[in-house]
Amino acid sequence: MTPTAPTTDAERASLRILQVIEPSGGGSGRHFLDLCHGLMQRGHHVEAVYSPVRAEKSFVRELKAMGLPDVHKVAMRRAPGRSDLAAHRALRAIISRGRFDIIHGHSSKAGALTRLRLPGRHAQRVYTPHAFRTMDPTLSAGARRLYGSIESFLGRYLTDHLICVSEDEYRHALSLGIPEARLSVIVNGAAQPVKDMAATVRASFGIAPDTFVFGAIGRLSHQKAPERMIEAFRLAAAKVPGAHLIMIGSGELETPVRAAIAASGLQSRIHLTSAFTGPQAVSAFDCLVMPSRYEAMSYVMLEAAAVAKPIVSTDVGGATTAIEHGVTGFIVPNDGDTAKLAAAMIEVAEPATFARLKEGAERARSRFSLDTMIDRTEALYKRLVAR
């Protein structure tokens, strides 16, 4: 038996950790809250910095209700500008007072401001992009070069470690020239729903318990491609009699999306709502469908995987991480062909296929637990401090 290495002081002791984020919505906000709470529960001193500029009220309420030793408010804006100077000064003051072991920036702006530093005591600087800006296929060539050069410089020279949330993001980081030794993949984790809301969600739309339900969760935006979802369901509906589609979300495309639902002739079988959150609604689905144009690692996929739901997704970032093609779901080409998406949906709904995929999803569900994500992040922090 190989002898166990002695536990170091750094591994035994609790850490002083500063978590910093600029946006508060979506997966990055959920990840931030989960990480703050989980690390505090494990005995670490965790302080948080958020920006009020784009902060969602629910995010701020949950953050402040955690009982962290301190929650700081620093105005950070997504776009580069003169306000960055004041934000950097405010962050530097918080960092100098806190004598932190780990400073972890989330998203591009917080990640940049927390890594730019003056000489002095060094705390380990960790960065999670939650999707590099350069992963956006709609970004112009000039913007791609600008953001790519910034990420490359910071990643090479000012980052102690960079956490990618999917293998796709990891490969993208390597393409930017960020050293492999400074990269890790730690997939986001999703908590189990506090309460199974399946019956409540289905009853609110008059859907019977034995009806096959496809579900989609996401902002009604160009990225999430809700129009693809409606068209794919329209094509699949004839082959899956009685199936329903529940779409959870709101956003700038809500008016055209509602018009597309009306034009589909399936108003009684397509239900669009923002009355439920994704974690509340996902248990009501038989299959999650992700028609997105691009992602890094969608929390929606993880939430579905955590409750063992088969998934059909376009081939976007994180799909191969959350889905084992043919075992827990299907990945279809991201070429805009909704017929391919519909064909996969039809196949999932076939009873024998659904039973097989459901069994595979049950076996894989522990890979996406919240505890696993926090375990791996905590272990990384301790290695960095010990080093």
Per DSSP, which regions of the chain are E strands? Answer: 16-21, 45-50, 70-73, 102-106, 124-128, 161-164, 183-185, 213-217, 244-248, 270-273, 287-290, 311-314, 329-332
Binned at pLDDT 50, 70 and 90, residue 10 comes out as: very low
Q: How far is CA 114 from the centre of its chain?
A: 21
DSSP state at residue 134: G
In the prediction, which pLDDT does 195 show? 65
Average pLDDT, integer, range 257-278: 95
* pLDDT one-digit tens code per residue, 211-221: 999 999 998 99
In the prediction, which pLDDT does 7 show? 40
In the prediction, which pLDDT does 11 show? 46
**Given a cut of 80, is residue 194 above it in pLDDT?**
no
Are 107 and 22 in contact, with CB atoms under 8 Å apart? Answer: yes
Q: How far is CA 131 from the centre of its chain?
A: 9
Binned at pLDDT 50, 70 and 90, residue 79 comes out as: confident
In the prediction, which pLDDT does 55 show? 87
The residue written with tokens 């405010």 in the block is: 90
For residue 42, give the amino acid letter.
Answer: R
> What percent of the chain is predicted at pLDDT more than 70?
96
Coil vs helix vs strand at 53: coil
> What percent of the chain is predicted at pLDDT more than 90?
75
Of the candidates 349, 342, 317, which has an alpha carbon nearest to the alpha carbon of residue 212? 349
* pLDDT one-digit tens code per residue, 225-249: 999 999 999 999 999 999 999 999 9
In the prediction, which pLDDT does 6 show? 42
Q: How far is CA 47 from CA 19, 82, 349, in A?
A: 6, 26, 46
Higher pLDDT, 377 or 166: 377
Domains in the chain (CATH in brackets) are 9-189+369-386 (3.40.50.2000), 198-368 (3.40.50.2000)
Task: Find the largest Cα–Cα distance for the chain.
Answer: 68
Higher pLDDT, 306 or 208: 208
Compute the mean pLDDT over every residue in the chain, rounded to the nearest whole number: 92
Of the candidates 379, 316, 323, 374, which has an alpha carbon nearest to the alpha carbon of residue 348? 323
Q: Can you spell out the DSSP letters for 306-337?
A: HTT--EEEES-TTHHHH--BTTTEEEE-SSS-
In the prediction, which pLDDT does 32 show? 96
pTM over 0.85: no
In the prediction, which pLDDT does 235 show? 98
The Cα 22–Cα 95 span in angstroms is 16
The residue written with tokens 């800006």 in the block is: 133
